[in-house]
Structure 1
Amino acid sequence: MKALIFDIIHGGDYIAKKLMDRGYDVYCVDVYKYAKQEIKDRIIEMGANLSEEAPAGEYALLLAPSHCPVDMFLRDDVIVDKRVTFHQAVGEFIDDKRFRIEVTGVKGKTSLCYMLAHILDKAGKKVFLHTSRGQGQYVNGEHHIDKLMSIAPTSLLVLPEGDYDVMVTEVSLGGSGKADIAVITNLLEDYGIAKNTGKASTSKASILTDNINIVESSECEFWKGFGKDVIGYGGRVRVNGSPRLGEPLDITIDYDGKHDVRFGEGFLGLEYIHAIDAALTICEQMSIPKDVMISALESFRGIPGRGEISKENGIWTVTERNPGISHISIGSTLSTMKRMDALDGLTVILDPVNRRVCDKLDIEQIRDVIDRYDVKLIFLNDGKDVTIPEGTKTILKFIKEGFQ
């Protein structure tokens, strides 16, 4: 039997290995033509075939990520009996028996994963955390990152060994469908994928499991349409008083009773309200005690580089270092700044880091968001020193540092 794999930069080599173990003759195609040499070497070493175009012939299977526009790369002399997405293949191949929480969504995935890891660590669990920032054990309030890896669904096939109590895993488009708890943070934008031949929601729905599924309450009916039972989250966190930049939030949570919590020291606590709400529902399903929850929230210090706050020479700086930066995330942070009455004298600095990342940004949509909030914008793409405009009181720095 022959199998054809399109796109080797999102874990196609992991899929190839699983197929070869099942006796398939595997042909890998670098359809985008920019896979790293180490990936190519690994494919050749395992004995799979590698090319930049699909060899003519008939194949029992064609496997590709859901965002791959397969028909663009198929020729008439290539015949395929069955098409399978990478996340469908992951669901077929995964055999990890450890308790696993998979988290997807449009925004807030990393924030929720870090918050869950912190709470579960406080609860005495041995926690492994895998996100777009990297992977490694989360212990004593710190993520010990020992490896950088994509959050493509295929990453679930190569999670490291270890006697972890909980595996907290962020995934991009879709999941295994076999998690103990599957979470979809939101669907703020059901954007087109595979050259607009599909929708993000269809891929993200692949994370839904026969076990526990948690989604935003306002989206419950939508996700139920994919045939799985879901539990809604939201409405269990209240922000008290008027939030101010540089000050922790006073919040009240509804978790086995009402409790007042001081949250957000050194970072934009308002950006984590949805993550707290989701975490409350998830941890309730895991029977985490309320005293652990309160202690964890009060000791949480955010994600390094995500909404970090500092002040120098009388100017506040808020740093958002995130591979998921877009017009949506920029608008969300500006909305947070407005809620804290911090738009006056605000300058946005957008750093796409490199040309390939820059090409992933929709600059016109970003400019529309900036204009809507009437703040200044500095766009970095030439490595020059930055001159901060006179009258700047707050710098909001967005650094889009890589691909998701």
Structure 2
Amino acid sequence: MQILVLDTIHGGKVIADHLSRLGHDIDMVDVYRGQEGIIPEIARSRSYDLVVAPVHLDPDYALLHEISSPVISHHAAVRWILGNNFSKTVVEITGKQGKSTTATALAFLMQGPGLLQTSSGLYRYPEKEVIGRYSITPASLLTTSAFIPPNGWFIAEISIGFCGIGSLGIITSGLDYSIANEKRSAFTVKSEQSHVMEKVLVAPGVLLQHTGAIFVKDLITIEGSTAFYNYLGITGEFSNPLLTLPGYQTPLMLAAGAALLLGIKPDKLSEFTALPGRMEVFHDDGYIIIDNSNSGTCLATTMDSFRFGKEIVGDKPVTIIIGQESASVCENFTTKEIISSIEKIRPQSVILIPGDKRIMSTDIIGFCESYDISCTLAVSPEEGIKCAKCLNSPLILLSVKRWK
């Protein structure tokens, strides 16, 4: 087949390489930078049997209309390339927030050898050995799936939808954001793609029209720091103080529910501890640092970190390090969310990390000035912590959206 692959930098080149190995004739267009493959003018002059495009590409991108060939997503291309060469224990996880925590908590419960792929890295279990760092674009599965041990399980975060190679999908959040040059809803895309999964476990509050949808609230209920479960006559409970934090409650519910669907009792979650960058607590030179710096950082998780910190130190002055360390093709920590965080918390000091050009630094600085809140700029979370430790606030909230 003659195939045109669009977008080389978000996994397209990996997809193109695999299709080429399968014997197809491949052209690529680097739609964002124009540095790899062929230029659009050449693509327009050629005939193709198929076009492969990412779901986040602007639907009005010219080549999508100028080439009259069927178009499939990067997700679908990965499913096509990998085929059905997997055991039944493959879990795909998508959603705006909670993916990494859900995936890691489920891996914590899994038995035997397996592979965990999150935005923080690729890990071999049960050793928890770090294999490497890969993105969570669909195409990464073409590389990381090669590390699955024989007869082992595989849990993978997927950005903006499902590939459909697994037996179970999980949607961790119904929160939405715009993609494709603000012309498409990310949650709508995830909902549409959920139908490639036989079963989909759904977070509380998420509405999903799917014959295989399983709503986690039908399996797990929470009372304080205790979770009670009931599935096909399997009943029990486990307790963990993390269940009182909204940022952990849903992921732990989903991990417990997924475990039940896989035939595993989730009681061991009573031993699960906070992840790095997800409400991890540090005591450093007399300061208490609540680390909420991860790929899902947003207004809601920032407020969770504030409430958690106040439980620890009481009513003491706060310095908040807030922002985003680099640009994202998808959702970012918006200016509106950052200002709302500052308005609700009313910290003594703000250290802003404006790593994405969509963050309006002047608006945030102006807002701080209007409330007599000091605001300084830093280029990284690490520099922000150094600055914060020169101030007098005993509580430091590190709330930076980052891909670490």
Same fold (TM over 0.5): yes
- Give runs of ≥4 in structure 1 deviating > 6 Å: 338-341
1:180 pairs, out of 149, 167, 191, with 167
The 5 A counterparts of 1:202-351 are 202-205=188-191, 206-219=193-206, 222-224=207-209, 227-234=210-217, 236-240=220-224, 250-255=225-230, 256-264=234-242, 271-289=247-265, 293-294=266-267, 296-334=268-306, 344-350=316-322
Distance 2:155 2:68 in 1: 36
**What one-letter code is carried by the residue in structure 1 that aligns with 2:61?**
M
The CA deviation string for residues 9-68 of structure 1, in whole angstroms up to 9 with x for no partner, is 111123213433454321111111177xxxx5xxxxxxxxx1243513232222111001
- Give aligned-pair identity as a percent: 23
**What residue in structure 2 maps to residue 247 of structure 1?**
none
The 5 A counterparts of 1:5-404 are 5-33=5-33, 50-55=37-42, 56-57=44-45, 58-74=47-63, 78-95=66-83, 96-98=85-87, 99-120=89-110, 124-139=111-126, 143-158=128-143, 159-161=145-147, 162-188=149-175, 190-205=176-191, 206-219=193-206, 222-224=207-209, 227-234=210-217, 236-240=220-224, 250-255=225-230, 256-264=234-242, 271-289=247-265, 293-294=266-267, 296-334=268-306, 344-350=316-322, 352-354=324-326, 360-375=332-347, 376-380=349-353, 381-383=377-379, 385-388=386-389, 392-402=393-403
TM-score w.r.t. the length of structure 2 is: 0.79
**What one-letter code is carried by the residue in structure 2 that aligns with 1:228?**
T
Q: Displacement of 1:324 after TM fit?
A: 3.0
8 Å CA contact retained: 1:182, 1:207: yes
C-alpha change, 1:54 and 1:185, in structure 2 (3 Å) is: farther
8 Å CA contact retained: 1:102, 1:207: no
Structure 1 SS opposite 2:67: strand
Distance 2:76 2:241 in 1: 39
Q: Gapped runs of 5+ residues in structure 2? A: 354-376
**What one-letter code is carried by the residue in structure 2 that aligns with 1:62?**
V
TM-score w.r.t. the length of structure 1 is: 0.79
The CA deviation string for residues 49-99 of structure 1, in whole angstroms up to 9 with x for no partner, is x124351323222211100115335398x4232221111222322223132
Structure 1 SS opposite 2:190: helix
Structure 2 SS opposite 1:187: coil
Q: Gapped runs of 5+ residues in structure 1? A: 41-49, 241-249
Distance 1:281 1:179 in 2: 16
* Pairwise CA RMSD: 3.1
Distance 1:27 1:337 in 2: 52
Structure 2 SS opposite 1:11: helix
Distance 1:137 1:390 in 2: 41
C-alpha change, 1:345 and 1:326, in structure 2 (3 Å) is: same
